[in-house]
Structure 1
């Protein structure tokens, strides 16, 4: 009897197991409402490692996928333009959708690597029924400085796609010449009531955009007609784009061209005309774009951390992001890029303010292992990092949360602040050791930013600044500390008032007078020895805090007396330190 019961239980388990597995897959594959710089209310599809295949491959619509990095300043500046475009083209969603994936999220890293994303933000066009395969990384779409230009590029791409036989389910984007209205509407389905003829030149995208905007209007079609065709003269058009409504059964034309024939005015004219004909418009389920305008959360009311303090948690979180996400996004690392990684690890070995031997051993083991090969894939490095993490666990002692670098909103500060903090810390602690490791830290930073930093535009700015301010001419530790301080202030000056600036943490020339009164001389000139001591106090290993708490100002003897003032004077670019720009 017991045997029979056991067999029954086993058969029951085998019967329900597939359902349990399917449920588990569905949960794991679920969409999320918010990640990085975007939320569902932005009318974009948020992609993650969990839903990417389901949401990208084999779809009945085309897509534009934005690969971005949430701490990249260029990505942050581009996000409002992408959101505005996504809101504007909601009516196109059965034809093409905008989708986003945050490559700064560790779990998404493998996908970004497979798609060979080396610059952020990157846009890829994915045609309908796209198949997963090696080399299928979508078609690159050129970045633009406005959403309107991006929309124009996108329409041009869709016109090309349709000419190649794809997007058959979309409105027809081709353009032709006609001599009569009968010829223009020939071939239009019999159930169509009105056809709107848009007269324009071949390079215009207005007609195609109108066709997409009203693609869900029942019994309505849009057709593009050359502005130089005979029918344009028949219609009596004198300025373009021109618009004429043609009733299909009677061939009765109604000229509709507005005085200012922009796309918006043309669309407004079409809708006004249809309203006058008692046309029943489609019921569009479009979310309220104002539904998620308040990006501030309750956490923003919490007391701000002391920005004059370096927190160990900030350093650990930055280090983890760099090793687990930024470096491993490369498909292949060799040559200069691999050497840059080794240089970065080398300065971490000697100058990072370790609080445990576990993390130190992890970095040394990683450095030694990477030297054994001339080429590594990003995937292999990620696997190696995870393996060594287990070997030396636990390597992190904090909650891996930003404290000093926490912004007033999630889109501000964070990793970029953390990276500056990390390299300031490395230069200061290198300067406190024997030898000349400080300049080596600068060179390692240059290599890291050039090859790994996830903001392409920021990387280019830094490399240009490094050449202008003669980074590779710095030969001594104390000069390295001050070179980085000078350069950081130059970046602050350039980005002050920028869209990416946290309004609650304005980018100033630091240290401010309130933080370090002795750092300024008459008329605001810098007191360099005092600045050096300020940097030493702030970034020195002995003063780094694990948790959010105040500290008394540390005082230590400064090695500044031997600093070559002539060298610093050369680096202190006058335009940066002009009196009128000092706070």
Structure 2
């Protein structure tokens, strides 16, 4: 079992960006901090569903507990302990449902901090097993198992024997394991508050009944009892002919036989746990009909539980690439390598729609071209969203779970779809393999391992998966083995999470595929133990996850996704141009200095940079159809759209007048209605010309060039020409109105327009009238004063 230092774990769990200095520092601390290293060392972890004992918790776990505990004392250097550890882990997974009646624990006696505990319990050899019954006293040293069996079945039976030997008051956490009599069964529903009783008929030496009783310990509304074949009255009453067999008995005295694929413990437990009304303790089920009626929850989508949905796979891609990866501002080092492998595997094997596959291949090609050791997620996102190019490649946005939807929003979803995605990829890699050629048998598994280690949001989940990968992934040597490895590890995770808070009560964690889904996958050993027929399992997996059986229901329309992407591309280009314009205006504000020749040259360069942007938004500025309409090649250089700003000759210079401050140039005001009208008329003209509908292709171009000349060398030549073209129906394109800013006269090298002269004349007349009014007013006042003075 691989060992990890606490430093490495903490550094790894909290990183968002690979930093070489941090990596070196973490390794250095892991070498100088020996105590954390020892604390994490051992053959087992908490994810193995085994209690790890230490001096701090040994008393609380072993003494005065309501559960019986079976403890393994081992040493990490002991070869027999290492060989026995897989059996101990399998036993823990096998009897997981027996909690809280029975627990498994382990303690590493090679650890110096645990040495005193092992000495107190009299441990002298490894591995050693000791059984501690419920409510053991602090003076107890446990019951030592000598010559204990080295298989799961034998250890399971030993635990049952020790449980039945409990002499004191029966622990309330442990169900009754004794055989049932006819009198008890007749009065069962009067003394027990359950709806259903399951009776397992078997021989005296069989453990099936007791094992099933403990398997149903964590479930409500059902009880299990064992009935021996010697109870002839009950055997006759229920019509039992096979041993073992299981019969259901309810409060209405109705008797029915439980139908199972094989008469064995695993099949009984699975069937009983899924009977109507039987639920795990603390997880009451909400009927699906209530979910459909509840408008506050997400819309429930009816789906086929025996199929894979492409909607789940595309949603997993969206969440993985747009949500999970977005937490990394930059990606470098091992993380970048993991991302490249992940995208490469998706580009090779993802069985999606053409547009999605094209998008993945585009991203993969871009990533492979990145030669640096670091990339920005923003750049990656631009390529993923196709904002740097235009093509029919798109990954739809948003999640829409179908086969992976949960009864509530926090159930299933992305983890379910992520597992499904890699099951599909392993099967696709198997199906696409070319016989006789070398194939990367663990290519998909390594890509999954790298992604989970670097990016998967649930860090404890990533740690658990890494421990499974370190344990056995390197032993995968064929593509078929890769498919089966991922399936078996998924079942191991299901076993660990069964009954957990994250388990959806409507979709319990089971060992998949179920007997109903694949009867041929399940079999029995000679000892009556369940086993998987891996040949049949492989056939089932290849069929279930085949690209030909993936359902396309509930998918987002591909055309709508492409339209949305093109709109986003246009918006991105407009935003980019707006940003360039803002930068240019900021430079103009910062460079607020007299208008000199260098500044004028910079302005000309900026105007030249603006022209390509306009061409990208409006298409070709000079339509190819103009050649067919009669425009000479020489005129193309002078061709200008009606809405374009007239260009100023390079030889033009601004006047410099000593003692006179020129008025700042006014901002051009565009008549939007006129612009739209003229723009669409021009487009209609070009479309008609290029489509060949117009018979008369004469373009009469009139040039009316006016020289606006300043004294001192200021000269602007502006093209105020108009274009007219006669279509078959006599459609006429009106030219832009010619500007009426012609100057009548110039004085001191400053031109005056008609408006300026008019204003001057008006002001002169107003001032004359004002003076005349003042003259009349004062004259009248003087006459009045003289008249008053002449009176006697």
TM over 0.5: same fold? no
TM-score (norm 2): 0.31
Q: Which has the larger radius of gyration?
A: 2
TM-score (norm 1): 0.42
